[in-house]
Chains A and B, each alone.
Chain A
């Protein structure tokens, strides 16, 4: 392994903190995202991980995939447990019993963030604990069998919002969690996707440097729940960004930066036709979604442009 000095391996650490042998589905985007996040975080961290796919596949007792201190928490209290760990470290440091700048990281899925763990997250962000909250968003409760969450996009068919003769699938719009995090006035908020690994790892590195709470929202493609072939994971993530459905941006204080900007967005059909969960959508529904995506994207672009002007 000494000749790892070419291209990619020169740019990232070859150390793995998320060991193989985990039971994630083949082609799991979330497992890839976790692997990249762990590479970027390094050794000096403590992770509190909510119940969900990543907890189930990585730690079926008595085995674990984690090579860093890791604790399993419930759906609802991930941010609270992370706050507690951070407070503990703070006290021990003050008493002189611990002198290691250990970063505390909370990880959860979209269900554990947008639905069940929402109030704990809001509380922790408001109290200003020095920790990173990472949401791995696969857009439904995939672990229990593809039930809708408030992060499921409009029109997606899940087992609790099935498409049929009358229903078009999910009838509500995706909850904009990064915007909610921004509204707390925290120092760092970012969105990322595993299809852009260097952007993702840069953002994690930035969040580690931040003093105070930071929130990172990572779109994680789920081949099983989105009903697409397992080798299309990376392509689907890339299309989500290129179509403007999941724009990649970061907010430092109130400064917006659009990390990946496209002169012209691809039509959202390109993204939808890959996936079985959108197969039933009619032309009218798609154009309705397209309009909304374009509006949201231009709003974001405007914000980013305003910052550049002020500079």
Chain B
């Protein structure tokens, strides 16, 4: 009897709108093209564009995959947005000898300190590659190239057909991005033992389902205020006090209602809630507001 081979499990960390779901599907399709077994499925709450999203893949050479549950102990973690490492525990459950593939503008030496464990780290500046080749900072296909380089889970060529089918006329830019990422990905071995995470992540103090009142009544009005939506943003508004006439049009047009006045009468956005939509900068009469990229 043939020896049972291993099922490789992948967890993608992305944000809504970055295309993590698409890339996981493309990976599964490419693996199936090679005659392997594969599955891909996402997991997210009611959150929308910009909110953190998890996507899972399972790939195996010969064993059919029976499991239909989310991946708890991944072999590979792919991180599409560099900001996510500060708000969620991306390496949770990552196996020893596992691989981390991350999109970041930083070099390997600078980002290394963020992770401790005996893992392999692959670093790629996917955002700039995607901007160059596709024209938009949507990094999903670029990260596929980096993933293939770091793990050889599939052949790079197997992605050609699924890419063409998915993107049609835009397949070339995406496949270029994929190939460039394959070339430019840097890989490093991390040393050290897996420690308990030292960072603590902010959590909300919402009641659990056992504590809820009958009829799902929520007695505390507006308790969504505890929920941080500020980490969805990639750009944040900055006010130029020289140009600001304190008219308050930014305050009126903010969909979050997160813009308020400080004691000098100037307006500012509460970074805890601001999602970085850019409406205030667009609607400002005097162009006093600029959207500045976050890091």
Q: Hey, which bits of chain A sit against chain B, CB under 8 A?
A: 1, 3-4, 6-9, 12, 16, 18-29, 31-32, 35-36, 56-68, 197, 223-224, 229-235
Contact = CB atoms under 8 A, between A and B. Distances in A.
A67 B51 contact: no
Interface size class of B (residues with CB under 8 A): 35 or more
A68 B257 CA distance: 16
Interface of B: 45-51, 204, 206-209, 212, 216, 218, 220-229, 232-233, 246-249, 251-258, 260-261, 263-265, 270, 273, 275-279, 281-283, 291
Contacts of A232: 282
Given A26-B275, A63-B224, A233-B255, 17 more contacts: A6-B247, A6-B248, A19-B222, A19-B225, A20-B258, A22-B224, A22-B256, A23-B227, A24-B255, A26-B255, A28-B255, A32-B279, A35-B255, A63-B223, A197-B252, A234-B253, A235-B282
A62 B206 contact: yes
Contacts of A36: 252
Contact of B270 (A4, A20, A61): A20
A197 B247 CA distance: 15
Contacts of A6: 246-248, 265
A21 B228 contact: yes
A12 B253 CA distance: 12
6 contacts: A1-B261, A12-B252, A19-B225, A26-B48, A26-B277, A197-B253
B76 to A, nearest CB: 28
Contacts, number: 154
Contact of B232 (A26, A35, A229, A231): A26
Name the residue in B47, B247, B275, B283 with the highest tally of chain A Cβ atoms < 10 Å from its Cβ. Answer: B275
Given A19-B224, A31-B256, A63 B279 contact: no
A62 B212 contact: yes
B241 to A, nearest CB: 14
A67 B276 CA distance: 24
Given A26-B50, A35-B257, A62-B212, A234 B224 contact: no
A18 B279 contact: no
For the complex of A and B, 10 pairs with smallest distance between CB atoms: A231-B278, A8-B248, A27-B277, A19-B222, A21-B224, A26-B275, A26-B277, A21-B227, A25-B48, A20-B273
